[in-house]
Amino acid sequence: MVFIKNKTITTRCPGRLSLSKHADYINSHLLYLLDNRETHVTGYLTDGDGKLILENREFSDRVFLQTEIKEALNNKLDWSFYVLSLIDILQINLSGLELKLSIKSNIPIASGLSSSHALILSCLRNLVEIFNLKDFKEAFKNPLANKKTMFTIIKLCQSIEENRGFKSGLGDQCAQIFSKKGFISSIKIFPDLEINYIKIPEEIDFVTIPSYQKADKNEPEFIEKNKKLEKYKTLNSLVSDYNCTYLADLHLKISEKEIFDFLDGFDDKLLQGLALYGLAESKRTLELSKNFSVSELGKHLNLSHQAEKNYHFSKEEKQEISEADKLNFVYDRKLKLKEHYGYYHASTLKNDLLQNITANFTGVFGSSITGAGFGGNNIAVVNKTQSEALKEYLIKNFYEKILEIKKPELLHISQSNNGLSLI
């Protein structure tokens, strides 16, 4: 095999902005765009003594001999786990070699922007080039024409997260590979990895609004809450009578009236709420993928956050929503399915407060927590003429007043971006 030695290889992968949440598990249409903040990996292979050097300007560096990698994989909470897993899965042999991977990123970590998959994918693309992994290399040249191989890559990335103990979907990786600058990507994973592009209207901006509460996958609370997804995924097993494999595919098989009949059959209120959330979320994203409008996207984001929120606000007072009230969600056949929100509740006090402040600001079409939840960023769709005014308003009324942060550098007007690539 011919390796690329003594030559610098640099790859990039952006963070992703999610306009739909938790629904890749049920094969919903998913809506994403990529942020202009990126993870860059520079790889350099030379002769050596079987050594892997990992340089990371945000975290401390790591050095491993080939013989130490298997044992090092037991430390699943260290950032190096992602890279070591790739070396292991790809069966890369460093005997007689020295590989240095230098990592630089301006994607904020634990922020709901998929910084972990940006690291995995940028490293993977680098390794594929350096070690001449031909099947993957050819697929990366034209991902849309090689969706079968790309799906293998996407599943590989998912397996790394799951080996780490985190239940991961497939949508983030799809978005970070297939998205295009200037477009929202509509992605449906099964059966054939369907990718469609929606031109972003010129009159809007996407603002990422940090809560400064880390959505840290290492935290026991996050891990415990993430287990809810297991119950969520069991909903797929309940639609076999309709000749469906996934919950969201009910939209393609039966009428809205029949979907409500299906929901009526749930005795478990929690499970009914999760099913209603998934079906309403997928109905909205399905319609947006076919007939996009900014106003409908805004309504979608506001309803999506309604399913997540744990706090109500009146003036400056907050009231935590009890579990009983969470399960007393709106369920009314007089409303269209897409006007429901159901039950999910993966937000935090800070994210709820930010959404409440943002959604009521002039020029904001809608806003919601983004990513897996439990902290991180909100995203807002804003009239471009009001983006800077929104930032100033949030700085004054949230960051300075509540968090006492004078310059919230992570508050960001996001520019769209192209997916994973060589530089």
Summarised one tens digit per residue, pLDDT across range 330-389 is: 999 999 999 999 999 999 999 999 999 999 999 999 999 998 888 999 999 999 999 999
Distance of alpha carbon 348 from alpha carbon 353, whole angstroms: 8
Q: Among residues 383, 186, 418, 180, which one has the least CA distance to residue 294?
A: 383
- In this prediction, residue 186 carries a pLDDT of 98
> pLDDT confidence of 215, banded at 50, 70, 90?
confident
Distance of alpha carbon 131 from alpha carbon 111, whole angstroms: 32
Asked whether the bond before 108 is cis by omega within 30 degrees of 0, the reply is: no
Do residues 139 and 146 touch, judged by C-beta distance below 8 A? yes
Convert the pLDDT of each residue in 87-136 to its tens digit: 999 999 999 999 999 999 999 998 999 999 999 999 999 999 999 999 99
Convert the pLDDT of each residue in 155-202 to its tens digit: 999 999 999 887 778 999 999 999 999 999 999 999 999 999 999 999
Q: Count CB-CB contacts under 10 A for residue 391.
A: 18
- In this prediction, residue 388 carries a pLDDT of 97
- In this prediction, residue 17 carries a pLDDT of 97
- In this prediction, residue 224 carries a pLDDT of 63
Mean pLDDT of 45-52: 97
- In this prediction, residue 404 carries a pLDDT of 96
pLDDT above 90 (res 216):
no
Residue 95 CA, chain-centre distance (Å), reads 36
- In this prediction, residue 47 carries a pLDDT of 97
- In this prediction, residue 219 carries a pLDDT of 62
* Domain 200-414: assigned CATH number: 3.30.70.890
pLDDT above 70 (res 225):
no
- In this prediction, residue 105 carries a pLDDT of 97
Do residues 319 and 368 touch, judged by C-beta distance below 8 A? no
Give percent above pLDDT 90 in the chain: 88
Q: Where is pLDDT greater, at 408 or 232?
A: 408
Residue spans per domain, the chain: 9-198, 200-414
Q: Rounded mean pLDDT of the chain?
A: 94
- In this prediction, residue 145 carries a pLDDT of 96
Convert the pLDDT of each residue in 291-320 to its tens digit: 999 999 999 999 999 999 999 998 768 999
Look up the pTM and report it.
0.95
Within this chain, domains 9-198 and 200-414 share the same CATH topology: no
Mean pLDDT of 229-251: 87
Specify the pairing of strand 51-56 against strand 97-105.
parallel
* Domain spanning 9-198, CATH class: alpha beta
